[in-house]
Chain A
Amino acid sequence: MQPNVPPVGPPKRNLSETVWTKLDRKATAIAEFTMRQYRKKRSTWSVGAVGGVLVVIVLLFYIDAMSAGIDSWDNDGDGLIDEDPSNWDGSQAKSVGDVDDDGDCWARESFDRDWNGDGIDCNVIYNYDRNGMLTSVNADPNVDEDPNESEFLEESMHRSFLLGFGKFGFLFVLGIFIPLFLATGLIRDEQEAGTLHYLVGKPIARAEILMYRLLGFIGLAWPYFLGLIFLSALVTGFFGPGDSIYRFSDLGIWFGVLIATFLTVLAYAAIFASFGIIAPRFGVLLALLFAVWEFFMMFLAMFETTREMGLASLSVSFWGAEIINSTGWLVWGDYELMTGQAQSIGFFAEIALWTVWYNPFPTTTPLLNMVISIVVLLMLVGMFVLIGQSSFKKRELN
């Protein structure tokens, strides 16, 4: 029997066909096309190679510094070195237990073992302020009196390297450099080449084209950074100080660097691509000026006064760096201990840490800080994408 088919009915629609799938196809097509365009350009390879070589050179310096080692010296003049090492790993950061490794405190008369007057013999008191910052170290006699400079310096240098390379190397130098050369022309280059009408003459809103082009850039830049950060994590993990073959404890830091770099690179790409749209002729110049601004802000962030004034927060790199800072606080809980020990013993190595590891801002809670920083960076991305989109929408293609 013939089914009773109405003479006119809604056309049969493929169920998998929706507005979204079409949008998705267009997004994939533009992103893919953008990535293919990058692959075909010699400049992409040159910029990528320069970045890669820089990272490798810095890592070679790191390996060299780590393998050279530093001689310890006899602080207390007893002819012995490292007979009473400090406990750098932070396991006793706030403890008041027995930390007299070589027993020379216990060898003293019983009335002479409690110089810090806490009623416990042969211990060290670390005093913290309300915010958990170490304010002073108060040790009983002959406790931690001859720590191992080599160990301390290596650990300090290693940590400084991770934080410093993460912030200045990936976030700042490469993080600006790669989007500056590769994202400024996302729309501008097409317009200059006279091929933009092939993209905008299609049933896609211009605002979407910018987003999908950015997606294409990210599709290339993120794996690139992932590769370089993975390489750095491998090298520093294997060559870093410690008895284990690989320092798994640092992976958290590298993860923080990765997240920070991804978001910062995305933000810079959105900013530079928008500059390219707003001022096609002076886009690169604007981007360079912006980079100088970022550098200046990064510099301000290094000083406690300007940092606490929040001035540096008017930059992108600041919020990226803040993610790394917060990761540092979360992964290495013994920063106060290290700085306290360095201060009490007179190591200048603390300065190295200080320059790359700041107090958290705007809050003192690292996790909250990280969330705030991620939100701020995403908001910056959104803001600049909107600025670029609104300029692009009004742009005439002569």
Chain B
Amino acid sequence: MMPDMHQVGEGQTQQEWQKVPEAPAIMADHVSKWYGQVIGLNDVSLAISGGVTGVLGMNGAGKSTLLKIIVGRLRPSQGQIRLFGTDPFKNPAPYHRLGYVSESEKLYDWMTGLDFVTTLARLHGMTRDEAKDRAMHVLNFVGLSDVVNKEIGKYSKGMRQRVKIAHALVNDPDLIVLDEPLQGCDPLARTTIMNVIRELGAMGKTILVTSHILSEIERITEQIVILHNGRLLALGNLHAIRELLDHIPHRILLRTPNPRELGRTVLPHPSVYGVRFPNPGELIIETNSLSDVHQDLPSLIVESGMDVTAIENPDDNLQSLLGYLIGGRA
């Protein structure tokens, strides 16, 4: 039984009451899930508490399966999952502290945004007034205060994602699980949603967010979990993983009116071992130290006096990262 933190017992002082260490928000212990012959998740163990964690993986890597197991939609075929110390499939109690945004785009289109969030807030046991106040608050937080009385069916994709996020925040959860919240959103909506997630992280919430786009996650958090073919491939700081990648062959693509001239300027750089011209107006620099080249590239460009319209890193994506992690090369 958990002790009552507010109670002062006989002969005891307040100082004697030590807070019982709380169970981690998410604890997965050798969790596997298979659908018939197909393995969805393979022996994943992790514990997450606090901060924003990005779950990265290609389509079919097991991101959604992991999230569905975490929120109690699926039951693990093997292993154990605990949400604040409780099995979420058997007991809905931890849902008090959970906000979940599924990847599904399905919503009650006939309801207004306010209606939707208020109704679902009432399922947390709030009175009508409380629910409405909270709904207005979270809708405002996600930037939908102008359209609260509009039917969800008339919302844009970005608005739909945001109303889903609003509904997940209405109970002021400690843990927020977002499955591909940026999918299908326009750049403006992406930025808004990313800001919302960052802000929530700053508020001290535990946030788990999935994506298959590295740059998206990078803009939100540094703490990542990488899944591949149902397995947990890496868990930790994105920068640390990137540093590992730094010394393997990389390409940098530059768009410029005179690529050959620029190629001549950068070729003497000690970290550049080759240049190529795949298309007119394009220069590819091949390097085995990405950070060194990026550090010196601006001065080299200024030195050459040439116009550069774009600098891209074609290898700086999840696929390359996965390629390196799996096969040791980008």
A37 neighbours in B (Cβ, 8 Å): 108
A25 at the interface (CB under 8 A from B): yes
With A195-B106, A204-B92 already in contact, the answer to whether A25 and B122 are too (CB < 8 A) is: yes
Q: Interface digits, B65-98 against A, CB 8 Å rule (1 contact, 0 not)?
A: 0001001111100000000000000001111101
Pull 14 A–B residue pairs with CB atoms less than 8 Å apart, ordered by A.
A7-B14, A10-B4, A11-B6, A29-B119, A193-B106, A197-B73, A197-B100, A201-B71, A201-B72, A201-B95, A202-B95, A203-B92, A203-B124, A397-B68
A303 neighbours in B (Cβ, 8 Å): none
Q: Is the CB of A26 within 8 A of B125?
A: yes
B104 at the interface (CB under 8 A from A): yes
Q: Is the CB of B74 within 8 A of A396?
A: yes
Least Cβ–Cβ distance between B33 and chain A, in angstroms: 10
Least Cβ–Cβ distance between B227 and chain A, in angstroms: 18
Q: Which residue of B lies closest to A33 (CB)?
A: B119
A132 at the interface (CB under 8 A from B): no
Size of the A side of the interface (Cβ < 8 Å), in residues, is 33
Query: What CA separation (Å) do A371 and B100 show in the bound complex?
Result: 47
Q: Which residue of A lies closest to B71 (CB)?
A: A201
- 4 closest Cβ pairs, A-B complex: A22-B125, A29-B122, A194-B106, A202-B123
Query: What CA separation (Å) do A123 and B8 show in the bound complex?
Result: 91
B17 neighbours in A (Cβ, 8 Å): 8
Q: Which residue of A lies closest to B111 (CB)?
A: A36
B167 neighbours in A (Cβ, 8 Å): 198
Q: Is the CB of B14 within 8 A of A197?
A: no
A398 neighbours in B (Cβ, 8 Å): 68, 73-74
Q: Is the CB of A202 within 8 A of B126?
A: no
Least Cβ–Cβ distance between B121 and chain A, in angstroms: 9
A205 at the interface (CB under 8 A from B): yes
A9 at the interface (CB under 8 A from B): yes
A265 at the interface (CB under 8 A from B): no
Known: A205-B92, A206-B92. 11 other contacts (CB 8 A): A9-B8, A26-B122, A26-B125, A194-B104, A195-B104, A195-B107, A195-B108, A197-B73, A201-B71, A201-B98, A204-B92
Per a CB cutoff under 8 Å, which of B73, B107, B119, B120 touches A397? B73
Least Cβ–Cβ distance between A184 and chain B, in angstroms: 20
B75 neighbours in A (Cβ, 8 Å): 396
A23 neighbours in B (Cβ, 8 Å): 125
A289 at the interface (CB under 8 A from B): no
A200 neighbours in B (Cβ, 8 Å): 73, 92
Query: What CA separation (Å) do A26 and B119 show in the bound complex?
Result: 9
Least Cβ–Cβ distance between B1 and chain A, in angstroms: 16
Q: Which residue of B lies closest to A29 (CB)?
A: B122
Per a CB cutoff under 8 Å, which of B4, B73, B93, B104 touches A203? B93
B299 at the interface (CB under 8 A from A): no
B102 at the interface (CB under 8 A from A): yes
B149 at the interface (CB under 8 A from A): no
A292 at the interface (CB under 8 A from B): no
A130 at the interface (CB under 8 A from B): no
Least Cβ–Cβ distance between B23 and chain A, in angstroms: 17
A47 at the interface (CB under 8 A from B): no
Q: Is the CB of A25 within 8 A of B119?
A: no
Q: Which of A156-208 contact B (CB under 8 A)?
A: 193-195, 197-206
Q: Interface digits, A77-91 against B, CB 8 Å rule (1 contact, 0 not)?
A: 000000000000000
Least Cβ–Cβ distance between B177 and chain A, in angstroms: 10
B295 at the interface (CB under 8 A from A): no
Least Cβ–Cβ distance between A214 and chain B, in angstroms: 16
Q: Interface digits, B2-42 against A, CB 8 Å rule (1 contact, 0 not)?
A: 00111110000010010000000000000000000000000
Per a CB cutoff under 8 Å, which of A9, A10, A204 touches B123? A204
